[in-house]
Amino acid sequence: MNVIVCVKQVPGTNEVKMNKETNTIIREGIEAIINPFDTYAVEEAVRLKEKTGGKATVLSMGIPSVADLLKETISVGIDEAVLLSDRAFAGSDSLATSYALSMGIRKIGNYDLIICGKQAMDGDTAQVGPGLAEKLGIPHTTYVRKIEEIGEDFIRCQRMTEDGYEVIEMPLPAVITVVKEINEPRLPSLKGKMRAKKTEVNVWTADDIGADKALCGLNGSPTQVVKTFVPEHDVDSEIIGGTPEEQAGTLARKLLSMQFAIEVQEEE
Amino acid sequence: MAGIDIIKDKCVGCRLCVGACPFGAIVMVDKKAEITEACTLCGACVSACKFEAIDFEKGEVANAVDVTKYSGVWVFAEQKDGEPESISYELLGAGRELADARDTELSAVIIGSGLGNACKKLISKGADKVLVVDDESLEKYNDESYSSIFTQLIYKNKPEIVLMGATTYGRSLAPRVASRINTGLTADCTKLEIDPEDGKLLQTRPAFGGNLMATIICPNHRPQMATVRHKVMKELEPDESRTGEIIKPIVEIPGNTLVKVKDMVRTITEMVSLTEADIIVSGGRGMGDPKNFALISELAEVLGGAVGASRATVDAGWIEYNHQVGQTGQTVGPQVYFACGISGAIQHLAGMSSSDTIIAINKNPDAPIFKVADFGIVGDVMEILPLLIKEFKAVLG
């Protein structure tokens, strides 16, 4: 079984600090990491490969330095790494990203399953998995928490829903996006680290994958960011003092006097 | 091809753009700004520069459409067993305002089986029209058939705006449809408004776990698509006297889908689901022991709310993952959120900070949770919770 995992480089922290005077973002020593949700996708791909044979390939789109991060995935068992890197990809929204990744996947070829993390930690959109499946013309299932069975030409998996899960069966090739419940990612082995050092990451440009540059990057992106701002978190916090009995009593009275509590009373 | 350049003659080396860049892609070289390969062409620097020293070439946009041919606001009405989900009503509330601002019609699109009653309810909640695709084979949500039907409807009717819930299904259907139509989609919008000048949809959403807000437009493609989380938009009071048109459009219903839903299993047995709850009582590691979560459940029960949990307690196996609130769990926005023994890591705050009223109970007065809390109690949750339960029980019975 040949599996392709799509991963994204994200900032290691989501904390955004603003310089109030200049209204600009303060950025100090933020390291880049592989999107944490994608590490579950990597682990699942390696497990499938180990169980069924075949190859696990990691694919990403980003600046040249992402190649170093991709090597980390080799140290946990990925066989090959491909990075799509080109100025033409700059400014991609989720549609342009889906397109570029789909072209990269077509070039890798001969795949049975594509695994993505459920969403990226920086953007949180969860759009690229389904968008990519559509561009490849293959089915997808999101929020997969377990692969129940996978055969030569089908997969049966559990999709997490708001109140439980669904069992979904679809033919291969297909795309799944996975939640963290699916596995516990392993740590790199010494042997894996050695191999990662020796492995070259394939870096492909838009031309290499035969992508139409009009559909890449900013020009291929229907959405545009017109403004970014740091939300105000101005909360008038009230610390309730007194003995525990007084604290509980005061809090209960305050809440009961609010609108929501009246609704509760009516329901009771 | 799009590109961005610093005009060296105009650049005075003020560094305003360096600070404005959300991606750290501008550096100073010989006292002049220089853009590195980390640039994503977001354009934040262009507006920050006071000296017009940044040349931003946007280039020709692919697949642009004649936006004047599109009109009307659509809402995807999710349903379960023929009953619209609350998110559908919330979307109608938001859609009503947008439709009024655009002086156009608001339509609900509902797909499923046995939807007679649902259509009337959608009209009473603000829809002018209901497009209903009612077929036995569509009883359960299926990515393949639902996306096929929805896409056909968009092609035929050309709506200007399409809203879907940022639910499990909505977050699967919306990107599939947007990708097929080649239009823009903005996830998890917390604010939607019409630009009074040009009528475009201004879509504001959190990024970086809610630490940065971004306003996004989709200027050259239609429909403008957005998903909205639970409890962000307000539903309208039902008005039974409202009239509307129920339309059964002609669509091709995929007969034998490749994707098959074999089973649906409920594992959460509580009456109230986390994302829909008006009141959530959440426990963290400060509860000390999994046994003590009984107090969390008891308070939730007394208040008719749902039980939430921090990541630490889920990872420790105290409670199931479905209860986890936060960035790697669920995003919630109830009227009242109790954080009991939760310190308030940034990832947790990202999942609950939009709650109307936040109550923090924690031993540590310096816990970050107090910064977002409307009411805080510095104390032992094991002591406070039983007293609180007693207080509420006395009033609520």
Round to whole Å and give the CA distance between B367 and B304.
Answer: 27
Dihedrals phi, psi of B86, to nearest 5 degrees: -60, -30
pLDDT of residue B56: 86
pLDDT at residue B47, as a whole number: 81
Contact yes or no for B390 and A98 at CB 8 A: no
Q: How confident is the model at residue A16 (pLDDT cuts 50, 70, 90)?
A: low
Q: Over 50: is that where the pLDDT of A127 sits?
A: yes
Domain residue ranges of chain B, discontinuous segments joined by +? 3-57, 67-247, 274-396
- ∠B157-B162-B165 over CA atoms, to 5°? 140
- Kind of pairing, strands B73-76 and B161-165? parallel
Q: Which CATH number fits domain B274-396: 3.20.20.70, 2.30.40.10, 3.40.50.1220, 3.30.70.240?
A: 3.40.50.1220
Per this entry, what is the length of chain B? 397
CA dihedral B362, B326, B80, B240 (to 10 degrees): 70
The pLDDT value recorded for residue B349 is 87
Measured in degrees and rounded to the nearest 5, phi and psi for residue B179 equal -70, -35
Question: Tell me: the pLDDT tens digits for B93-142?
Answer: 999 999 999 999 999 999 999 998 999 999 999 999 999 999 999 999 99
Q: HEC profile for B312-359?
A: HHHHCCCCCHHHEECCCCECCCCCEEEEECCCCCHHHHHHHCCCCEEE
> Residue holding tokens 């098959």?
B260
Percentages (nearest 5) of helix, strand, coil residues in chain B: 30, 25, 40
Cβ neighbours of residue B97 under 8 Å, at least 6 residues apart?
B192, B193
| A24: chain B residues, CB-CB within 8 Å | 16, 18-20, 48
Interface of B with A in 276-305 (CB under 8 A): 276, 278-279, 303-304
Q: How far is CA B290 from CA B248, B270, B313, B344, in A?
A: 52, 18, 8, 19
Rounded to whole angstroms, how far apart are CA atoms A228 and B46? 13
Which residues of chain B have a CB within 8 Å of the CB of A125? 175, 185, 187-188
Average pLDDT over every residue of A109-127: 92
CA B386 to chain centroid, in Å, comes to: 34
Q: Is B375 on the interface with A (CB under 8 A)?
A: yes
Q: What is the mean pLDDT of residues B252-278?
A: 84
Nearest to A222 among B37, B221, B263 (CB): B221
Query: Which residues touch B68 (CB under 8 Å, ≥6 apart)?
Result: none
In the numeric block, the tokens 């879509």 are attached to: B203
The CATH architecture annotation of domain B67-247 reads: 3-Layer(aba) Sandwich (3.40)
d(CA A177, CA A40): 10
Interchain pair B210, A231: CB under 8 A:
yes
Tell me the pLDDT tens digit for each residue of B209-260: 677 788 999 999 999 999 998 878 889 999 999 999 999 999 999 988 999 9
A38 and A72 in contact (C-beta within 8 Å)? no
Interface test with A, best of B171, B295, B298 (most A CBs within 10 A): B171
User: Which of B190, B319, B331, B377 best probes binding to A when mutated, by most A CB atoms within 10 angstroms?
Assistant: B377
Give the mean model confidence (pLDDT) for residues A250-258: 87
Nearest to A88 among B1, B48, B263 (CB): B1
Q: Which of B182, B208, B303 sits opposite A14 (nearest CB)?
A: B208
ipTM: 0.89
CB pair distance less than 8 Å for A95 and B180: no
What does the pLDDT read at residue B328? 76
* Distance from the Cα of residue B54 to its chain's centroid: 34
Domains B67-247 and B274-396 share a fold: yes
Domain with CATH 3.40.50.620 in chain A: 3-220
| Nearest-angstrom CA–CA distance, A223 and B221 | 9
Question: Residue A179: its chain B contacts at CB < 8 A?
Answer: 321
Chain A neighbors of B259, CB-CB under 8 A: 139, 141, 168-170
**CA–CA separation, B134 and B356 (whole Å):** 37
Instruction: Give the C-alpha separation, B168 to B275, whole Å.
Output: 11
pLDDT of residue A225: 86
pTM (two decimals): 0.86
Q: What CATH number does the domain located at B3-57 have?
A: 3.30.70.20
Which residues 129-148 of B are in CB contact (within 8 Å) with A? 143-144, 147
- Which chain B residue has its CA at the smallest distance from A145's CA? B321
Residues of B numbered 307-326 whose beta carbons fall under 8 angstroms of chain A's beta carbons: which are they?
321-322
Q: What is the mean pLDDT of residues A83-102?
A: 95
Rounded CA-CA distance B309/B6 in Å is 49
Which residue blocks in B14-108 are alpha helix, DSSP H?
16-20, 44-48, 86-102
A230 — pLDDT class (breaks 50, 70, 90): confident
Closest to B70 measured CA to CA, from B223, B237, B287: B223
Predicted confidence (pLDDT) at residue A259 exceeds the cutoff of 60: no
Angstrom distance (rounded) from CA B252 to CA B138: 12
The Cα–Cα gap between B350 and B362 comes to: 19
Q: Are B179 and A134 in contact (CB under 8 A)?
A: yes
Residue B25 half-sphere exposure toward CB, CA atoms < 13 A: 21
For chain B, give the percent of residues with pLDDT over 70. 98
- Cβ distance B213 to A237 less than 8 Å, yes or no, reads no
Q: Are residues A229 and B43, on separate chains, in Cβ contact within 8 Å?
A: no
Contact assignment for B259 to A224 by CB distance below 8 Å? no
Question: Torsion angle, CA of B99/B100/B102/B105, rounded to 10 degrees?
Answer: 50
Beta bridge partners of B272: none
B273 touches chain A (CB under 8 A): yes
**d(C-alpha A4, C-alpha A81), whole Å:** 10
Lowest mean pLDDT, pick from A79-88, B178-187, B366-375:
B366-375
Confidence of residue B183 (pLDDT cuts 50, 70, 90): very high
Q: What is the pLDDT of residue B346?
A: 81
Cα–Cα distance list, B353 to B172, B330, B337, B377 (Å)? 25, 12, 9, 18
DSSP conformation letters of B117-151 = HHHHHHHHTT-SEEEEEE-GGGSS--HHHHHHHHH
- Please determine, for residue B152, whether its predicted confidence score (pLDDT) is greater than 80: yes
Q: Does domain A3-220 have CATH number 3.20.190.10?
A: no
Query: What's the rounded Cα separation, in Å, for the pair B151 and B276?
Result: 28
Note the Cα A99 to chain centre separation in Å: 16
